[in-house]
């Protein structure tokens, strides 16, 4: 399985939208500032997120972007796959030796385990966790 800035930034962006769900569109610049992310890069991420039906974009002076569905109905796996394509095991040669087959099986199992975790984690889960971390970092108990 691969991870990239695109996937990490995309998840941070979507979690921020989840925190604002139900309150109307959020401007990309506001998300970028709050998450310390490059706004230009976030705008690039909007294309695949919109194309995959995860984000709606509203133009105009009160425009911005918002989740297309409730945060509890969007998984981390959906976001990552919208941005990076299907997450699968790293490319391994189709060597028929027992050692190569054993390694391939390991990568396949570990990738499926990661997919299971990502599929079982929603943006609502991540938003709740982020809020708890923010409260804890301010010196309050959770």
Contact (Cβ atoms closer than 8 angstroms) between residue 9 and residue 37: yes
Q: 71 Cβ partners below 8 Å, 6+ apart? A: 17, 18, 21, 122, 123, 124, 127
Structure tokens at 33: 């500032």
Hey, is 128 helix, strand or coil?
helix
This prediction has a pTM of 0.85
At 29-79, the pLDDT tens digits run 999 999 999 999 999 999 999 999 999 999 888 889 999 999 999 999 999
Q: Which residue has the higher pLDDT, 95 or 21?
A: 21
Domain 5-88+122-137 has CATH 1.25.40.10: no
The residue among 72 and 91 whose pLDDT is bigger is 72
Q: Report the DSSP beta bridge partners of residue 58.
A: 64
Q: Half-sphere exposure of residue 38, counting CA atoms within 13 Å on the CB side? A: 7
What pLDDT sits at residue 105?
86
Q: Where are the beta strands (DSSP E) in 1-142?
A: 55-58, 64-67
Residue-range domain boundaries for the chain: 5-88+122-137
CA-nearest of 67, 61, 116 to 87 is: 116
Specify the DSSP class assigned to residue 64. E
Chain centroid, CA 10 distance in Å: 5
- The proportion of the chain whose per-residue pLDDT surpasses 90, expressed as a percent, equals 65
């Amino acid at each position: 399985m691969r991870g990239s800035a695109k996937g990490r930034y995309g998840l941070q962006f979507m979690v921020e939208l989840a925190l604002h769900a139900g309150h109307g569109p959020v401007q990309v610049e506001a998300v970028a500032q709050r998450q310390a992310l490059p706004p230009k890069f976030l705008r690039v991420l909007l294309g695949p997120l919109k194309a995959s039906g995860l984000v709606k974009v509203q133009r105009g002076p009160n425009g911005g972007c918002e989740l297309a569905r409730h945060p509890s109905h969007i998984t981390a796996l959906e976001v990552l796959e919208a941005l990076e394509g299907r997450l699968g095991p790293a490319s391994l040669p189709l060597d028929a030796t027992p050692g190569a087959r054993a390694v391939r099986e390991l990568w396949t199992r570990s990738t499926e385990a990661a997919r299971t975790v990502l599929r079982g984690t929603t943006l609502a889960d991540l938003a709740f966790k982020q809020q708890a971390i923010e409260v804890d970092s301010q010196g309050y108990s959770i």
